[in-house]
Structure 1
Amino acid sequence: MEDGMVSLLIKIDTLGTVREVFWSDPVYLVSITGMTLEAVFDCKGDAITASGLHGFFQKQRKVITLEGCRLRESGIPVVCSMVALHEEALLLATDFNTAASGDSTGVHSKLVHRFLLELSRWMGNPPHLDKHQSVDDYQQIQILNNELVNTHRRLEKANAQLNRLNEELHNRLVQDALTGLVSRYQYRSEIEQRIAMDPKALGLFAFIDIDSFKSINDTYGHAIGDAFLVGFANRLKKIDMQPPTIHMRIAGDEFGLYIHGLQTVDEHYLARFWQQFSEVMMARPIQADTQSIPVSCSVGIAVYGLDTDNIYTLIEYADFAMYQAKNNGKHSYRRFDAKVYATAHLH
């Protein structure tokens, strides 16, 4: 056997049972007769199953190349070709490198010669097939093999590229590209998953708006504005009240926090939340490149399980409460008030 080369030639019956081993390199690939093809190979589709083989033996032109096969024991990808005569078939399997090598190393030619010799002996010059037909069939097999190998490699390359693109898209959908927080496309799903884990618990949603962010962009430019947002997001990640907190970017200068698994959300809890939020987010300016910029926020709070059991409504209520805080001097928070909301929506 050539170094690294894998090949075998076996005779099978119509059920896919190995009846004779002509050669097996290395020898452990098929060491005994009586094994089934499914014990030796793992192939796509049903080609080596009983039903697949029945269809193959019923064909008039009994030459086939099997796609997507691997040796079950080692996982090595192989190209398999079968030639049928009456109620038996020869199956030739070679590793992909050998099948794709052509005659560049001489290995391929030796294998072809070896196969044709066994094929000629096996066929025993039957009246309806001659040697030239056998050679033509094998040449057709090799053409199919080469096409299969090339197609397989192109597919592997395309699949690798597709996987990279899917991963990039997934990351963009799940994470906000600028800040690394949960993105606007994902945060509702994250909240739904957290609620599903404990549907009877309460959850606090804080809708956060950076006060006068437009003036930061207008004064310092968008590059400084983006750096400020990154610094703001990094601080937001440090707020992790128990139970664990979801940190999200909702829109340009709008952010959010969701805390689920709470038993009570009373004035004492809200005061503790606002104290931590103020200390982490607004106690010190954010250093954005060369600029030191003060931080001010307006925050609206709504509670899942008290104000509503609908996520979209929860976000709407928190958004409404945030605007209440902004309209009442900014730099503060407001708890959602159903009466104020109802009055505002009467006009």
Structure 2
Amino acid sequence: MTDALKRLSQEGVAIWLDDLSRTMITSGHLGELLDQQHVVGITTNPTIFQKAISAGDGYQEQVADLAARRVTVEEALRMITTADVRDAADVLRPVYEATGGLDGRVSIEVDPRLAHNTRATIAEAKQLAWLVDRPNTFIKIPATRAGLPAITETIGRGISVNVTLIFSLQRYREVMDAYQKGLEQAKARGLDLSTIYSVASFFVSRVDTEIDKRLDALGTDEAKALRGKAAVANARLAYQAFEEVTAADRWQALARDGANAQRPLWASTGVKDPDYPDTLYVTELVAPGTVNTMPGATLRATEDHGEITGDTVAGTYEQARADLDALEKVGVSYDDVVQVLEDEGVEKFETSWLGLLDSTKAELERLADGED
């Protein structure tokens, strides 16, 4: 077995894990991932926390204490999730120090119910940064229309941000603009730009899932020939946009003031169609200065049989544009697809959060009743 993960890291791709649980931390498994599988970061989202907390392992004592204090379910959930992120951040602190703050990061998302409320998102971002209280934390803010000014304001206050749920190229450019505006505000406030970091999480597999569904409904040979091409093409064009923005005078001026580039992060990289290679969204998106956050199964698949052959993004932009143009020609609207995916992404995370609130409330009530 070749060390594909090591080769991926050498190509300039930071390997992050899209998963977290208390057991992963306390068992030492997280530390093993850092030592043995080149993992240098962690991302979380409401669905990940719902899975971890609903499983129950490692949370009983804290939930019992919270029940004894009669805290609200909202407070309990935030105390539980921020505890996990704080402890994970401590495990990753050596990576953070060794990379000068670039990696060793743990991301935690604002309440997804606030995705369309700018002011509330800003307030939540500030609160989460205070609660976790670790320099190697990213606050995740969704790239909704209301999220853009929240990104700017949060960055402008010196809080590092992971912008999530990006599907469209236009929205990605707006995210990069929001980041630069935030850095300009931070500079005006006299903050040290070199201490502010950001990644932009561009979602991948969900694009193929939605577009392939529409192509299958069309059923023509032309439509079938386009299956499985859109997600990689979309991400590659996002990297082209990143290159264009970071080459422009506006960014170069910020860079001279010590600003850090907002790295593209490939998210949703678990392959959902069994007809496709299970490492597709890793091996086809190798480019320097990027992050790939993988679910555990994808990480293991890449380690086992991933073929890392070097940069697979450079020189692909013309074909990527042709692939997306071909979708429009057969009747698949790119603009409609990315809007549907953004709306569904927010809805799915909100559903997970509400389910987590319900299960946490039930456990709090059970333990509170049991102590009387």
Q: TM-score, normalised by structure 2?
A: 0.20
Question: Larger helix proportion, structure 1 or 2?
Answer: 2
Question: Larger strand proportion, structure 1 or 2?
Answer: 1
Q: TM-score, normalised by structure 1?
A: 0.21
Look at both structures and tell me which one has the larger radius of gyration over its CA atoms. Answer: 1
